[in-house]
Amino acid sequence: MKIRNWSIFCFIAGYHLLLLALLPLFIRTFSWPAAALFLATYVIGGMSITTGYHRLYAHKSYIAHPVFEWVVLLGSTLALQWSARIWAHDHRLHHAHVDTDDDPYSIKKGLWYAHMGWLFTYQRVFQPKYVRDLDKNPRVVFQDRHYLPLAIGVNAGVFAIGCLFMHPLAAFYAGFLLRVFMIHHSTWFINSLAHVWGSRTFARELSAVDNAVLAFLTFGEGYHNYHHAFASDYRNGVRWYHFDPTKWLLWTASKIGIVKGLRAVNRIHLQRTLVKKDKKLLMPLLNQYWDDMTSEIQTKLDELEESFESRAQSLMNRLGELKTASKARRRFIKLEIRRLKGELRATWKAWLELTEFTVERYHLTRDGGHI
């Protein structure tokens, strides 16, 4: 690997070395306020990236009050990942060209490259068309223009506050070195491990995976396969029990009224998309693995897709009718909706069973070059 971005390399290598070199001194000066300082700055910095840089600026999955924007724009300087404008530019490129050479942190170039190697070699050709909307946001533009003084100011402020409650070395170690290390690696895990280690349910054709362990380390961003499939959804962990504190924070903020317009993919729409995607992926593969059951499976896939689609459409129509129907008719429509929901659930279950059976029977694995 040929290093091109020497200043970034020196900064990252430097703080890793300092982290090791100062560890014995930190252990001697450790105090509980130091642990609290680490935790507070880790959560504020990390969640400013996930709520702000990622879900607000890169994906526009909700609308935020300017006060909320200022909190995340300043809080994100604790993460030291450069400005929201640059971050969103690179991330939008990643989504638009995932797994190709135009993806700035493509996993195809290896785990190490996607994790942090790209930072040392990547020669950004800035394309303003990717951030036209952000260039109209004066807060984002301000943060981009004055990133360095803002970052120095916020980090120096945190250090000064830390010194009031603990040994200066502990404040520097826990409130800067360790915090930056932890936030950096958790963000980088999304580009590396979350494209390798986990399951692919929503977009089987992509390298991105869902992984609960990574979600725990990254404030909910580990459900990366879902995220690549439905990037504008404010949730990454789509089920209520998925560990996604970023989603919970945004939901709570929307109840308070400081953010609004949370975008969430409707469940029926989500399942419809998945059925279409699965079928498009499986049909040509089955032609390659022809045996005594292939045509039977293909017919079944056709039938199930058709019945899922027609039931989903009927359900959507009934839900639409409900809004304008008279009181007497509403009762009847509600019964119909209940029946259709039950049928749709059963069809969805049958679809999952059939596709899982097909994948297992023909060993259709992504590593084998397929799913």
Binding site for Zn ion (CB under 5 A): 208
Distance from C-alpha of 44 to C-alpha of 56, rounded to nearest angstrom: 16
Nearer to Zn ion, 34 or 208 (CB): 208
Using CA atoms, how far residue 294 sits from 356, 365, 368, in Å, is 14, 17, 19
CB 179 within 8 A of CB 79: no
Instruction: State the Cα–Cα distance between residues 192 and 93, nearest whole angstrom.
Output: 16
210 phi/psi in degrees, rounded to 5: -100, 130
Residue nearest to Zn ion (CB): 208
For Zn ion, the closer CB: 208 or 371 = 208
Minimum CB distance to Zn ion, residue 98 (Å): 6
Q: In this structure, are residues 219 and 54 in contact, taking their beta carbons and an 8 Å threshold?
A: no
Asked if residue 48 lies in contact with residue 75, where contact means CB atoms within 8 angstroms, the answer is yes
Closest approach, Cβ 332 to Zn ion, in A, equals 43
Q: Which is nearer to Zn ion, 170 or 214 (by Cβ)?
A: 214
Q: How far is the CB of 114 from Zn ion (least distance, A)?
A: 9
Pick between residue 37 and residue 259 the one whose CB is nearest to Zn ion.
Answer: 259
Q: Which residues have CB under 8 Å from 127's CB, separation 6+? A: 89, 93
Cβ partners under 8 Å of residue 281, min gap 6: 204, 205, 371
Nearest distance from residue 223's CB to Zn ion, in Å?
Answer: 11
Residue showing tokens 């404040």: 171
| Least distance (Å) between residue 265 CB and Zn ion | 14
**Shortest Å distance, C-beta 231 to Zn ion:** 5
Which is closer to Zn ion, CB of 68 or CB of 223?
223
